[in-house]
Structure 1
Amino acid sequence: MLEKKWWHEKAAYQIYPKSFCDTNGDGIGDLKGVISKLDYLKDLGVDIIWLSPIYCSPLADQGYDISDYYDIDPRFGTMEDMDELLKEAKARDMYIVMDLVVNHCSDEHEWFKKACEDPDGEYGKYFYIADTKDYKLPNNWRSYFGGPVWDLLPGHTDKYYMHVFHKKQPDLNWENPKLREEIYKMINWWLDRGVAGFRIDAIMNIKKPNIYTSYPADRDDGLAGIDNMLHDAEGIDDFLHEMKTETFEKHHAFTVGEVFTDRPDALEAFIGNNGHFSSMFDFAETIAGKSDDGWYKCKPVVWGEEYKKAAFGTQKRLGDIGFISNIIENHDEPRGVSHYIPEADVSDTSKKMLAAVNVMLRGLPFIYQGQELGMTNVAFHSIDEIDDCSTLDEYQVALDAGLTPEAAFKAVVPYSRDNARTPFQWDATANAGFTTGTPWLKVNPNYTGINAAEQVNRPDSMYHWYKELIALRKNPEYKDVVVYGEVVPYKEEQTNLMAYYRKGTDRTLLVVANYQHDAQDVVLPGTYKKVLMNNLETLDLNGDILHMPGYQVVIFEM
């Protein structure tokens, strides 16, 4: 049986601080900006706020390269600002969750600087450092951002260091108990300070197989995908169990893992009643159509079918094992409404349909900033407008595969992480009300039509649709069925229909969505008691035949 936890009935929200709200006019969002918008989030119904990294960082990978785990980067504010945020959140019964990035740090971290000074000393053992042999790399693993995972150790011509991400993100050696002790000390320091928990970044990478193991090359660069390493690494559970018992468990902290794995026992191991984390994100929808060869090889998908298949697949595997975290988008993905809905069909109607089928699934809904407004991908015009290192790498991969610069740009931009990182659209004033200065990344030009100020005051807006979905989740009458009710697919075989029951102990809901442009008829299973939500003003029901225009979604109480 699933053990009930305090966070199960909550709604969570991810803030990408750099793009959220800038209060000092430097073009970069800050902690004072987050504090200033707490009431906006409280009104939406948000309880848990995950902050993407705000630690000191050179921002080579937007803060996921940490140079000091114990301090706030001056671009985002001060530790006093952080304490103020924790205090103000607590006053509103809200919880702050930080990003925990412990697979790697920054090459500007004190540990790595000391490792460069003395690779054979204490701090050299905090990292993966290997001697060069005729300048041959220890293995042929390809980093997530392209190129080998090895680079020459700064100041040395006879040693390499490993980085499975950016070259400014040296991997930490979790085999070293002293390193693990330092990490646990840091985690407990933040929990003692008042943080409610962590979103745990890239955690599957902390366990490596023998670093001298190479794999068959899968591209012309002679390198092999990093997934091979993940498949071969064994023993990660020991590290994660130790981390949990030494830190999270002592503080009753909420943790949500970024877990990419095809282990058959993954759900039980990671989020079962004795799992490593409270929850983990469901990425099944995000990987549909993706290719190991690069973004330029991504295949078009029929979202009405693919989204349904991915979501139901996770729910079936999950059963009563644990509590998943459901997402439409995050800082590493393009905007969901642009990704999961054909471009010609993107409208408030289709956006509301997507929101409903996701939020009504069993699990913790995580809303990414701007998702509640229906923010979309950006019309980038050239590669020079792109900041994201991952997109720049994929652009080069496409060029190396023989695509023209125009074709390569067109192929990768729809998947760029910058689509989700453009400044939050607060109002229709200059720079969408995000900053009085020059924003660090271009503002989406559609901010005059899509912004919070307009939507908060319009009852039929996306904002109010999300507010209503969250309110339904917390409504005392329906809370039990929405939070804990079983997900049972309905008419799963009907093309581009995503319909499912939420079956509780004393109530049954039915979510019915026409996930396509064309109208279609659906035979309802019987009479309904009440329409709880409908993204259209009409309900065309003839007997038990529901005629649904394109992208209509209805939530019935049966």
Structure 2
Amino acid sequence: MAGQHWWRGAVIYQIYPRSFLDTDGDGIGDLPGIVDRLDYIASLGVDAIWISPFFKSPMADFGYDISDYRDVDPLFGTLEDFDRLLAQAHARGLKVMIDQVPSHCSIEHPWFVESRENRDNPKADWFVWADAKPDGSPPNNWLSIFGGVAWTWEPRRRQYYLHNFLSSQPQLNFHSAEVRAAQLDNLRFWLDRGVDGFRLDSINFPFHDAQLRDNPAKPMELRQGRGFSPDNPYAFQYHTYNNTRPENLGFLEDVRRLMDGYADVAALGEISSDDSLATMTEYVQPHRLHMGYSFELLTDDGSPAHIRRTVEALEAQLQEGWPCWAISNHDVQRAVTRWGGSEAGDALAKQLVALVCSLRGSVCLYQGEELGLPEADVPYESLQDPYGKAFWPNFKGRDGCRTPMPWGGTDNAGFSGAKPWLPVPEGHRLRSVDAQNADPASVLNAVRAFLHWRKTQPALTGGAIRFVDAPASILAFVREHAGERMLVAFNLSQSSVEWVPPERIALIDAPGIDTARLQGDALHFPPHGAAFARAV
């Protein structure tokens, strides 16, 4: 990627630190564990790591409820451990992005502790406070993503406070210039420390409607998206007034001005709105965020038609902006299970990594994706996620994708010498790093080979994209860069498929995938096979 910003076309490896590697024997992963595995991460051929929150927190939402934005929680180590991680990653050519959660904090953050005491303290307007209606009910109909009303009564102020997530995650009031300045200062703290960028959590949530107007109801047939089934009343509304407000654009421009003062850093926004693709178009601009990703490819629909429709819709709108794609993360069921079911095999696992890494844009790969890990079935008695506990049994929460990384075949999969915070399923131990390192045909070795090859293909790291009509089970597109055209095609079915491309081609030896055969003018795909080719 010489001659361009490091993040354009980069593969970013997401680390969920409490599940990566435990080095101090408490059953929870830590920052020294990440340092110990940096050689492994570098061997994958990725360009950067994104570390989910490791800041001081009571861990009600496992780090996304921050009580100190500028310090490391003792569970994960110290600031010195982070500085060592940063230096060691940079020494291996890896960039380091960290999560930031600007819109809300922990109920234990000193800002909120002061704000809730009364209505005339210096932090009184740092959070979203509102009087009750005359009958004592909340000020409007806004709902929390994690279930129920988005307002909690605080007797000290005799007011309600807003929380878009857990009641222990109060919403900051971004209409306050002091709040905006404080959160920019927190970004500056980590930029000065040397980080290469941020993944900005729920970045369309900072502002709320100052008039606190009710959200409009959503028709029954539209109550879907980002996993919000009709079981969750959050799906019952258009979230017109509690997030994605127009005032937020100005804050994004403030973030960009700050980051433009540092050499080649990047802001990646997590965007989940009623129309996430339109919001990405607004947010990912040369004077706003560098990149954005939404949940359109993190849904249950992994069909070629859905993938094509999603990418084409974004491409038609995005213009100058740069997308980032993900099909797995710490919030959704793992992709091989979500799109392949309980019987998904290695061919699908290899294919999915190759597919997402062949779209135009940057990529986030989630730890364990390179092992082809399926979703873990976590029993209720072992469940940790408050979201899952609230909606059990129809929705089991996020613990199934957060189980510890399997490094070896021992009882705790080499993750910890103690009982892990979540159980490690037997199927994951069989797919451990040690086991796959020893198998030349493993998903891990296939992913390594493909990612290293991808780095040598400018059409894949930076080229334009144009989709090609093909049979229903095949996703086909052309990537083009500097006059070079590459045809890319994936058979997303469990059956063999034949397809005659619109022009004569010659296959390219793309390692790490089950490759189609070319007989005459026809491509013959094995189940979950792929083809990379050039026109002749």
With normalisation by structure 1, the TM-score equals: 0.87
Taking only aligned residues, the RMSD between alpha carbons, in angstroms, comes to: 2.3
Larger fraction in helix:
1
Hey, what does 2:469 align to over in structure 1? 491
Identical pairs, percent: 32
Distance 2:34 2:512 in 1: 30
SS in 1 for 2:5: coil
Is structure 2 residue 531 aligned with structure 1 residue 550?
A: no
Q: Would the aligned equivalents of 2:198 and 2:268 in 1 still touch at CA under 8 Å?
A: yes
How many pairs align? 518
Letter of the structure 2 residue corresponding to residue 269 of structure 1: E
Is structure 2 residue 284 aligned with structure 1 residue 271?
A: yes
Per-residue CA distance 1:268-312 (angstroms, 9 max, x = gap): 4322333x1110114222245xxxxxxxxxxxx573433343344
SS in 2 for 1:250: coil
Hey, what does 2:241 align to over in structure 1? 229
Distance 1:221 1:46 in 2: 36
2:262 counterpart (238, 244, 251): 251
Letter of the structure 1 residue corresponding to residue 430 of structure 2: G
Hey, what does 2:62 align to over in structure 1? 62
Letter of the structure 2 residue corresponding to residue 412 of structure 1: F
Distance 1:221 1:374 in 2: 30
Hey, what does 2:444 align to over in structure 1? 463
Letter of the structure 2 residue corresponding to residue 485 of structure 1: G
Is structure 2 residue 383 aligned with structure 1 residue 386?
A: yes
Distance 1:535 1:469 in 2: 5
Distance 2:453 2:137 in 1: 59
Which ranges of structure 1 fall in alignment gaps of 5 or more residues? 289-300, 396-408
Q: Would the aligned equivalents of 1:30 and 1:76 in 2 still touch at CA under 8 Å?
A: yes
Distance 2:33 2:42 in 1: 15
Hey, what does 2:227 align to over in structure 1? none
Q: 1:280 to 1:4 in 2, by over 3 A?
A: same
Per-residue CA distance 1:298-350 (angstroms, 9 max, x = gap): xxx573433343344334444x5222111110111110111112333x11111
Q: Would the aligned equivalents of 1:282 and 1:324 in 2 still touch at CA under 8 Å?
A: no
Letter of the structure 1 residue corresponding to residue 407 of structure 2: W
Is structure 2 residue 76 aligned with structure 1 residue 76?
A: yes
Distance 1:309 1:488 in 2: 12
Letter of the structure 2 residue corresponding to residue 502 of structure 1: R
SS in 2 for 1:533: coil
Distance 1:498 1:451 in 2: 30
Hey, what does 2:329 align to over in structure 1? 330
Which ranges of structure 2 fall in alignment gaps of 5 or more residues? 219-229
Hey, what does 1:134 align to over in structure 2? 135
1:358-507 equivalences under 5 Å are 358-380=356-378, 382-395=379-392, 409=393, 411-413=394-396, 416-475=397-456, 478=457, 480-492=458-470, 494-507=471-484
Q: 1:216 to 1:501 in 2, by over 3 A?
A: closer
Letter of the structure 1 residue corresponding to residue 331 of structure 2: D
Q: 1:308 to 1:351 in 2, by over 3 A?
A: farther
Q: Would the aligned equivalents of 1:331 and 1:420 in 2 still touch at CA under 8 Å?
A: yes
Q: 1:220 to 1:538 in 2, by over 3 A?
A: closer
| Deviates further, 3-12 or 358-367 | 3-12
Q: 1:171 to 1:521 in 2, by over 3 A?
A: same
| Deviates further, 12-21 or 93-102 | 93-102
Displacement after TM superposition at 1:35 (Å): 0.3
Hey, what does 2:42 align to over in structure 1? 42
Distance 1:172 1:374 in 2: 38
Q: Would the aligned equivalents of 1:12 and 1:50 in 2 still touch at CA under 8 Å?
A: yes
Q: Would the aligned equivalents of 2:115 and 2:123 in 1 still touch at CA under 8 Å?
A: yes
Q: 1:130 to 1:282 in 2, by over 3 A?
A: closer
Hey, what does 1:291 align to over in structure 2? none
| Deviates further, 460-469 or 41-50 | 460-469
Letter of the structure 1 residue corresponding to residue 469 of structure 2: K
With normalisation by structure 2, the TM-score equals: 0.91
